[in-house]
Every structure is written in C-alpha cells, then in structure tokens.
Chains A and B, each alone.
With several copies, the nearest count.
Chain A
C-alpha cells in the first residue's frame, strides 16, 4: 500500500495533503463547507487550498448544513466528487435526513441508477471543554443505516490514506476526525496512496487479550497495552478504521486467538459501536471467549462543559486498563 518515503506530519497536515492531492488529480473533486475557503476551516484542514484551487472548487457556504449535504449529494449524482465539511459532528443532526434518507439510500432506492459518492468530513470527540454540542462522538447515530460508510482514522498516515480512499470510493462516506488527534504527529508517506476501507489495522500484536478501538481510543489502548506489558499482559490492539461496514474478520480472528476482548469507543455506552462489536464477538466467538466481552465507553450522559465533569464521563487509558484487567480475571 505505501511505498513512498515518509515524513513526519501532523494529522491535520496529512488531511490537507490528501485533499490537495485529490483536488489536483480529479477535476470532479471539489469541497464545500463553512469557512473552508480563505480561512482554511475551523481546524485548518483546508488551509491553502482555496488560494491554490480557487473558490469554485473550495466553496464557502452559508450556515446551511442540510443544503451542504444536499448539494453534495446532488452533485455526486452528476458524477462530481464532493468533499463536504461539517464543522462539528454534533451538527450532523441537522442534515441527518439528507445523509440517512437521501445519500445512504440513493443507490439502492433507484436500483443502482445513481451513486452518491460524497465524503462528509467532520470533527468529533470530546476532552477539551467543548460542552454538550461540540464534543460528541456520533458514530452511534449512524450504525443502523445500511448504505452509509463510516471511516475513522487514528493516525496521520491513515488519515491521509483513508481520506484518499474515501474520495475514490463510490459510496457516501462519513469521515470522522477526532479533534484530540488533529495535533498528533506521525510518519506520513509522500505522494498519493490509499489505505483500504473495510480493513482493520493491527496496531499492536499480542496474545492475551484483544482490544478493538477507534480513533483516540486506539491511542489510549496502546498506552494501556504498554503499561500492562510490564505486568506480563500481552495486549493486541486493533484499530477498526472503518466503522461501517466494519472488518469483522480481523476482529474475530484476533479474539479467537486471544480468547478475550475489550471494545473501546468514546461514545455513550448504550446502543453504540461498542455494543455492536460486543454482540458480534459474543455470538461468533461464543466457544472461544474465556471471559465476557468488556465495553469501555463514555458514560450514558450528554457531555458536560466543566473539564472535571467531562473527564469523569469520558473513557481514557485508565478505563482501558481496568477493562483489560476485568477480562483477564
């Protein structure tokens, strides 16, 4: 997948590179969203692209989330490759209908006559005092929506490769960018490359227990694994990368090997991705599991503003460590 030499880049820079390469390569690619033009986006992901590609292909929009997604879908029906930015994932509620009833069903309900290859980039996740409307993990809102794809990178290299793969892909894709990862750095290969969708990444091999994690929780899991290694617990960490439809094969193979599973996801506990994974693991690895699956998640609450409160409800390394300890008992 990636042959070219790698440089150190932030997650944001990796995303910007991907957008730049996609705009350069395919005239059908264009971007739209609030303040993505001259300003370069609320988190700087589109910085420099307006100047380079002009306002026709890097389009500032009014504060009209439904129209943003509608525009993306309509143009995608015409063969364009829109990359829409919804500033905060929390605002997807306003365009839920467009995503769920339009984009996700477009190919199906007209029996293949249209495609809706849109990419909706959005900043999600908590931990910075953003409060109830700027901090949510929203993948749980969309898990029961066949036709939709959810992609969620954890590293700068994957941010770039998965974004390029998403733009190439013919399906509607919700591309989640966890705000706490924007400033992390990592090796990022130069030039154009894609990282396959629907393929989980084994972020760390291990034999005693499998932790399946997404986005920021991958890093928390790796930190937990490093800590527990000292105690002789050898943890395998799987970065799911594509949340829907996900790579059950890699997950199940790992759990069959280790016999123990922890799923780690920042969203609230009930009805989220962690439950989906726990169900599938519990059913498919029924005879292999040595302990019940553990879900490490946010608590079942909205996200409070004050940092002490927020810290209380969001999962971190400590919670992953505890989860692992529980399945090791």
Chain B
C-alpha cells in the first residue's frame, strides 16, 4: 500500500463509476436506445481513474473512444453533472455536445475535456497546439493525449512526439496498450509490442505502467504530471491493460487470456481486495459504495432517456462562427 486509504477508496469509487457507466450504457445500447457505435472502457478503469485524478479542470485531455468514464468523471468532478455525458451518448439536447457529438465527440472545455476525434490519432497533432498555448502563456498545465496501441500506427504519432520533444511541450502521452486494435494484436501491428520502444528515440521519459493496478497507475501519473508542470517537456506513459469488450461480433481472444485478465487482473477486484485488507471497511461497506454509485449512474441513464431530443433545425447551427448556412 503506497496510497492512503481515503484516496484509494475515492479511486475505487471512480473506477466503479466507470464500470457502472459502461455496463449501463452497453445494456441500453443493446436495447437500441443508444445510436451509432459503442466502445467501452471496461477493464481499463484503473488507467482512466488515475489520469482523471491528476488532471485539473484547467488542464486538457483528449479522450479516446473508450473514455466515456474519464469524460463522466471530469464532468461530475468539476461541474457535478456527469449525466450530461450520458445524455450526449443518447443523442439528447442536454448532452455536453447538444447531441451533435455522441460517444466519439463528447467534449466540455470547462472541465478540460477537449473531445475525442473519431479519426483515431488525429488529435496527436491537435494536442501539440493546446500544449503550445500553455507554454506560450506560461501556464503550468498538462495537455494529455490518450491513445490506444493500435492508434500508434498513425504517422501523427511520430510527428507529434517529435514536435513535442523539440519544443519541450507539456504533453502527457497516455498510451493505453490493451493488446489489440480491433482484431490486430499489438505485436503483429507494431515493430514492438512495447510501444515505449517506438517512443524512446524522442528523448522524453518513457515509463511502462501496470495499468490495472490503481496504486501504481496513480503514482506514475503523479510523477508524470509533476514533471510536465515543472516545465520539463513531454512524458510518455504506456499503460499495460486489457479491454473486456471483444469485437462487435464477439470474443476472439484465447479463452485463457480472457480468464486471466477478467479473473486475476480485474482492476476493480484487485483494488477491492486491497481496501478490505488494509482498512476498516468490510465487504459489505464496499458493496454499499458500489450500490450507491450504480444507483447514481442509473439516475443518469434515466435523465438521458427523459431528456428531449435536439430541435431538428439546430442541425444547421454552428457550422460557421457568426455566419448562418443558407440551405
């Protein structure tokens, strides 16, 4: 135990929130209540919670397609209305992006959420500009770019790391290596299954983190953001983790691999055991926390469902700033 118990319990609550959010969402998606496509972050909660814990509302993060959890945590923490992330996923007028964005474009700059870009990896370029603005304004902030192992295939990976390095930009690369890009195993898609190997040449600190151990993840993110806020330039964290969601069409990974990660490496199970072992909290206490969080998330789902759809004519708003589109 390196973390004090209050922090650990808070993080556990955050992780549980992510899982409850994703499971609830998936259920509604299967019922046909959520349009479009859905990728969930189940299994990656420790990585996400650790990042969310250290980022301020004045920092910026670019969440990837599995980051509903971070989005909800940031929204809840800084504005107390996590339900607006849920509403966005349901395409409602009350969603953070007014229903225009959905899962892949939920943003809110007030809480540091700079939005996903469904063209995977394109924001590896965008993040540079956010970081540059911090640097030019001498703000001790972090611009965090969350990308999957598959996304590393994009050329922008190189352009981004290189530019961040030469300009010493305050970028935190949070690489979520969950072993696959859709069906492509990381070792088959990349020259190295350890993405840090591709990053080291740029001369920034490159650290591999057990992304399923909330204590370690929390500590490593802490180190990284301290380094960045200190004006030392970019930092690269590779979280080794695993996603529970297989393909749309079902599970394709070896049964033993699935068992191992779900049973032995579940970040929630691991954290729960630690809490019960190291604190006065009992299993019942933790169950109660889980139930509370779950109830909250179900409230969000109700909120989303009851929210109005956007006004159709709003579809032509905000194409240009200050100009209306004639159609």
Contact = CB atoms under 8 A, between A and B. Distances in A.
A300 B108 CA distance: 25
B2 interface: no
A147 B122 contact: no
B242 to A, nearest CB: 18
Interface in B289-317: 309-310, 312-317
Greatest chain B CB density within 10 A among A63, A65, A146 is at A63
A108 B100 contact: yes
Nearest to A56: B136
A67 B132 CA distance: 12
Interface in B246-280: 247, 249, 252
Interface residues of A, number: 77
A63 B189 contact: yes
A141 interface: no
Given A39-B182, A102-B126, A74 B133 contact: yes
A71 interface: yes
Contacts of B155: 64, 66-67, 94
B231 interface: no
Contacts of A269: 327
B119 A94 contact: yes
Nearest to B131: A74
Interface stretch (A8-16, A109-117, A231-239, A257-265): A109-117
Interface stretch (B69-77, B146-154, B207-215, B222-230): B146-154
A81 to B, nearest CB: 11
A140 interface: no
Interface string B118-153: 111111111111111110100000010000001111
A209 interface: no
A111 B97 contact: yes
Contact of A64 (B153, B183, B252, B320): B153
B135 to A, nearest CB: 9
B190 interface: yes
Contacts of B281: none
Contact of B160 (A42, A67, A76): A67
Interface string A309-321: 1111100000000
Given A69-B125, A74-B132, A313-B316, A305 B183 contact: no
B117 A77 contact: no
Interface in A60-97: 60-67, 69-80, 82, 90-91, 93-94, 97
A307 interface: yes
Interface stretch (A17-25, A127-135, A221-229): A127-135
Nearest to A65: B154
Contacts of A149: 320
B314 to A, nearest CB: 7
Contacts of B183: 35, 37-39, 60
A4 interface: no
A101 B182 contact: no
B129 A80 contact: yes
B5 interface: no
A63 B100 CA distance: 26
A37 B189 CA distance: 13
Given A37-B183, A109-B105, A306-B102, A301 B315 contact: yes
B35 A129 contact: yes
Contacts of B312: 308-309, 311-312
B204 interface: no
A65 to B, nearest CB: 8
B129 A110 contact: no
16 contacts: A38-B252, A60-B184, A62-B152, A63-B151, A63-B184, A67-B156, A70-B156, A109-B115, A128-B36, A131-B36, A132-B101, A133-B117, A133-B119, A304-B100, A305-B99, A313-B315
- Report the 7 A-B pairs with minimum CB-CB distance, sorted nearest first: A70-B125, A74-B129, A129-B35, A305-B102, A306-B91, A62-B153, A133-B118
Given A129-B91, A305-B99, 20 more contacts: A35-B182, A39-B183, A62-B189, A63-B152, A64-B155, A70-B126, A77-B129, A80-B132, A91-B119, A102-B123, A109-B115, A110-B107, A129-B35, A131-B104, A299-B316, A299-B325, A304-B310, A305-B36, A305-B105, A310-B315
